[in-house]
Amino acid sequence: MNRSGRFRGRLACTAGVAFALLLPYSAGAQSEQGSDDTGADTTLVPVPAKPAERAVSSLLLDVARAGTGWVAVGQRGNILISPDGNKWQQVPAPVDITLTRVRFLDATHGWAIGYDGALLGTEDGGKSWKLLQFDAAWGKPYFDVLFFDQNNGLLAGANGTLKKTADGGKTWDAVNSAVFGDTPNLYNLTALGDGSLLLAGERSFLARSTDKGATWVQLKSPYTGSYFGALATGGNGVLVFGLRGNAFYAADIAKAAPLSAKELAAMQAAASDAENAGNNQNPVSEVAGWVHLQHDDTEPLFGGAVAADGRILLVGQNGRVMQADLAAAALKRLPVDTDINMNAALADGSALVTVGTSGIKRLDLK
């Protein structure tokens, strides 16, 4: 299988988290003839991203704050920075692959991740970047990164991959747990107000850690589809969201029911039963600790932000901006002047800065 084809089928079937997974799996490295027996080209070497005149309007996957500055990442290794969220410029990147996530610990220290096991680091707020990891032999993407301090952090990625570092990302060790046995793609790592972590992913995967990712307990999910994102709320709460616009709220994550071994076995058996899969069963169910936010929309939701006035906003496909009313257990669609696909967002006063298929857009919050 050539590089543009490998690994696309598995990820495309999840409906494409943040649309990066629908891209050809090709841009980003040069190859000297060679591959392993799995089809992965192990001779790929990283190539710096090229300056792009239209980078600000290209496909972007994530945006983050670096102190008072802003950083966005996306297709072809594009990294954009801004002092105020209005005027953006591309900065050099050491690899030309799709970057899926960017996170900052403080105003200067940040990390970006993407395909081919790529991990980039910055120590100057995103102005310059170093390539910390590139794994052509593994060849798959990371989807989220979370650092607790300058040395200790976690990487989440494809096929149940979770790794930890204690040296700022120079070396990584696998985090092994039975909860990853079904090898779900792990899309989102969120630190909650109670000090615990929530890991969300495809095929209804939810897991919680109370020891900074060393051990995990899988949670019983109120939804059989995929979760693409999560937002911490209050002291102990979390809002998770994903396919078909489904969003669920747990006011206290400690009260979310764990998934028993018996329930996990039953779920796996049902998923592997082709006849059962055609019965059109309701993908949403009542689960202790979770509340389904009601609405009439079915477009997937990929990102979220909290506005200056406290409103919780979710963004997604075809111009969807949904406001969450946790007290009423409902989502309300807000009218916005765009129909683009939006992958992530940050609030900026009375505006929402979004990144998506048409680059960076500022939306007025009315």
Residue 263, pLDDT score: 83
C-alpha distance from residue 308 to each of 88, 241, 348 (Å): 22, 21, 7
Q: Is residue 336 part of a domain?
A: yes
Q: Is residue 34 part of a domain?
A: no
Q: Are 332 and 320 in contact (CB under 8 A)?
A: no
Domain range for 365: 303-366
Of 281, 302, 323, the domain-final residue: 302
Of 253, 284, 302, the domain-final residue: 302
Q: Is residue 39 part of a domain?
A: no
- Whole-angstrom distance, CA of residue 163 vs CA of residue 147: 12
The DSSP symbol for 123 reads S
Whether 23 shows a pLDDT value over 50: the answer reads no
Encoding tokens for residue 165? 């570092």
Find the CATH number of the domain harbouring 112: 2.130.10.10
Compute how many other C-beta atoms are within 10 angstroms of the C-beta atom of residue 4. 11
Q: Is residue 2 part of a domain?
A: no
- Whole-angstrom distance, CA of residue 66 vs CA of residue 103: 8
Q: Is residue 38 part of a domain?
A: no
Residues 176 and 286 in one domain: yes
Residues 189 and 331 in one domain: no
- Whole-angstrom distance, CA of residue 111 vs CA of residue 92: 14
Question: Could you give the strand order of the β-sheet that contains 162-165, starting from the edge strand earlier in sequence?
Answer: 142-147, 153-157, 162-165, 173-174
Residues 253 and 337 in one domain: no
Residues 234 and 271 in one domain: yes
The CB-side HSE value for 28 (13 A sphere, CA atoms) comes to 31
* Tens digit of each residue's pLDDT (9 = 90 or more) over 308-317: 889 999 999 9
Compute how many other C-beta atoms are within 10 angstroms of the C-beta atom of residue 246. 24
Question: Which band of pLDDT confidence, cut at 50, 70 and 90, is reported for residue 136?
Answer: confident
H/E stretch holding 201: strand 197-201
Encoding tokens for residue 361? 């857009």
Does pTM top 0.75 for this prediction? yes
Domain total of the chain: 2
Residues 163 and 197 in one domain: yes
Residues 227 and 318 in one domain: no
Residues 331 and 293 in one domain: no
Residues 186 and 140 in one domain: yes
The DSSP symbol for 286 reads -
Residues 243 and 322 in one domain: no
- Whole-angstrom distance, CA of residue 89 vs CA of residue 69: 12
C-alpha distance from residue 256 to each of 174, 200, 218, 290, 326 (Å): 26, 14, 10, 7, 16
* Tens digit of each residue's pLDDT (9 = 90 or more) over 283-324: 999 999 999 999 999 999 999 999 888 999 999 999 999 999
∠ CA(13), CA(75), CA(230), 5° rounding?
60
Q: Is residue 340 part of a domain?
A: yes
Encoding tokens for residue 259? 């998934």
Residue 40, pLDDT score: 59
Residues 159 and 22 in one domain: yes
Residues 180 and 250 in one domain: yes
Q: Is residue 3 part of a domain?
A: no
Q: Are 251 and 293 in contact (CB under 8 A)?
A: no
Residues 163 and 254 in one domain: yes
Average pLDDT over every residue of 226-252? 97
Of 246, 278, 302, the domain-final residue: 302
- Whole-angstrom distance, CA of residue 44 vs CA of residue 29: 6
Average pLDDT over every residue of 126-147? 95
- Whole-angstrom distance, CA of residue 206 vs CA of residue 189: 10
Decide which of 25 and 225 is more confident: 225
* Tens digit of each residue's pLDDT (9 = 90 or more) over 341-359: 999 999 998 899 999 999 9
Decide which of 27 and 360 is more confident: 360
